[in-house]
A = this chain, B = another copy of it.
Amino acid sequence: MATMNAPTKVAQTNAATKSPQIRVSRRSLAYWRVTIDNPPINVMGPEMVQQFQEVINALETDEQVRVVVFESAVDDYFLNHSDFTAKLEDLTAMPAGPTGLPPWPDFLVRLTHLPVASIALIRGRATGNGSEITLACDMSFASREKTIISQWEVGVGMVAGGGPMARLPELIGRNRALEVLLSSEDISADQAEAYGYINRALPDADLDSFVEALATRIAKFDKWAADGARVPQAGGCRKSAGILRGPN
């Protein structure tokens, strides 16, 4: 419905070497869309990680943006596991981000702390990295019919690197978090909504208009008020209690 603007400089930087896997478009000065587009199944390799770094750099620098929506242009896949055909050293050679963490968890932590409302619009598989960006966003809304979400790492002998062990218990409690992590099972949108893993599951036909209305609404609000209303992430109990006790 909304027309995509031309790719920004952020994406064009990457286009020099290869077709960009992430496109940033500005629906308005205050409302950005980030579109993940690495067909056929939206795996995440070193190039995409680098492009996520550029996206978060741009979001942190911009003074107008108030809302950012993450979505996929690839049918049936929101964001998938890592690209196991890529050279591992291309990933491990990337420098740490400003938080001191490797680039992917660095992106996720900065996204969570960003003074911009972040929304995951999920349609299709959100496996591993796709679940992790969902948890790092402020809010998530998913197609009831087309979404599958999972942290599948334990099932293949790995440990998730993007922090779901920290973020999931905050949302769904320790015991359901352990079920998600230790079972490594695919989870439907309905089950994810019942657990509080995502904010809401919506009929696929309604999902786009719901997110569009919400993002447009938030984009109109005063930025300082929205910033003041932000709540803390994992480990934030103390920070949030501080609100009740006055500055500390």
Residues of A within 8 A of B (CB): 100-101, 105, 109, 117, 135, 137-140, 151, 153-160, 163, 165-166, 168-179, 181-184, 195-196, 198-199, 214, 217-218, 221-222, 224-226, 228-238, 240-246
A10 to B237, CA, bound (A): 35
A182 to B215, CA, bound (A): 10
A93 to chain B, nearest CB (A): 18
Query: A236 contacts which chain B residues (CB < 8 A)?
Result: 169, 174, 237
Known interface pairs A218-B182, A234-B240; A246-B100 also in contact (CB < 8 Å): yes
Instruction: Give the contacting residue for A174; candidates B101, B175, B179, B231; CB below 8 A.
Output: B231
A245 to chain B, nearest CB (A): 8
Query: A140 contacts which chain B residues (CB < 8 A)?
Result: 175
Q: Which residue of B lies closest to A156 (CB)?
A: B225
A178 to B236, CA, bound (A): 14
Most buried by B among A117, A163, A243, A244: A244
A226 to B156, CA, bound (A): 10
A213 to chain B, nearest CB (A): 10
Query: A199 contacts which chain B residues (CB < 8 A)?
Result: 175-176, 179
Known pairs A234-B244, A235-B244; list 8 more (Cβ under 8 Å). A154-B226, A156-B225, A169-B236, A170-B240, A175-B199, A176-B196, A183-B214, A237-B237
Query: A163 contacts which chain B residues (CB < 8 A)?
Result: 243-244
- Decide if A166 touches B196 in the complex (CB within 8 Å): no
- Decide if A174 touches B171 in the complex (CB within 8 Å): yes
Known interface pairs A153-B225, A173-B171, A244-B109; A179-B139 also in contact (CB < 8 Å): yes
Query: A166 contacts which chain B residues (CB < 8 A)?
Result: 231, 240-241, 243-244
A172 to B195, CA, bound (A): 11
A165 to B245, CA, bound (A): 13
Instruction: Give the contacting residue for A158; candidates B195, B225, B234; CB below 8 A.
Output: B225
Known interface pairs A165-B240, A166-B244; A182-B226 also in contact (CB < 8 Å): yes
Query: A195 contacts which chain B residues (CB < 8 A)?
Result: 196
Q: Which residue of B lies closest to A240 (CB)?
A: B166
A234 to B230, CA, bound (A): 15
Query: A139 contacts which chain B residues (CB < 8 A)?
Result: 175-176, 178-179, 182
- Decide if A238 touches B240 in the complex (CB within 8 Å): no
